[in-house]
């Protein structure tokens, strides 16, 4: 699958990229919402894993913008955050995310989630 990773921590973004690549997927990295929005329109990822605490446009807002793009109608959106409280879960759902994972991501759980998504495509 084509997976876009949106994370402002460059080391974490690259590490996540290497992990999804080890699962057999192609990936690209973006470090802010505006750049992610621009690249997603052209690259058309099948999955977007994004941090919520992005500079400028946060992940909630970015997900809403990406979900509004017709070319991304089939894209699966995964929120990644250190938060798991009820307010965060409500905002994740309201923003249009399909899944949410806690940071740091458990590699086995991430692999299972991505395998399930791939099987559903």
- List, in sequence order, every residue forming a beta bridge with 2; answer none if it has no partner: 26
Residue found by looking up tokens 């798991």 in the block = 84
pLDDT of amino acid 104:
83
The domain spans of the chain are 2-115
Dump pLDDT digits (tens) for 24-79.
Answer: 999 999 999 999 999 999 999 999 999 999 999 999 999 999 999 999 999 999 99
- Distance (Å, whole) CA 100 – CA 98: 7
Dump pLDDT digits (tens) for 3-26.
Answer: 999 999 999 999 999 999 999 999
Based on DSSP, count helices (H) and strands (E) in the chain, helices before strands: 5, 5
Report yes or no: 76 and 98 within 8 Å, Cβ to Cβ: yes
Residue found by looking up tokens 């990406």 in the block = 66
Residue 88 has pLDDT above 90, yes or no: no
Query: For the domain 2-115, what is the CATH superfamily, name and number?
Result: Response regulator (3.40.50.2300)
């Amino acid at each position: 699958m084509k997976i876009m990773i949106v994370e402002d921590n460059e080391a974490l973004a690259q590490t996540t990229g290497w992990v999804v690549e080890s699962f057999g997927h192609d990936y690209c990295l973006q470090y802010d919402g505006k750049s992610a929005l621009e690249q997603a329109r052209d690259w058309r990822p099948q999955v977007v894993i994004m941090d919520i605490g992005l500079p400028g446009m946060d992940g909630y807002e970015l997900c809403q913008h990406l979900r509004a793009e017709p070319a991304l109608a089939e894209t699966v959106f995964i929120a990644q955050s250190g938060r798991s409280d009820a307010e965060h879960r409500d905002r994740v759902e309201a923003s249009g995310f399909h899944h949410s994972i806690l940071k740091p991501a458990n590699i086995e759980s991430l692999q299972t989630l991505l395998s399930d998504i791939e099987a559903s495509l």
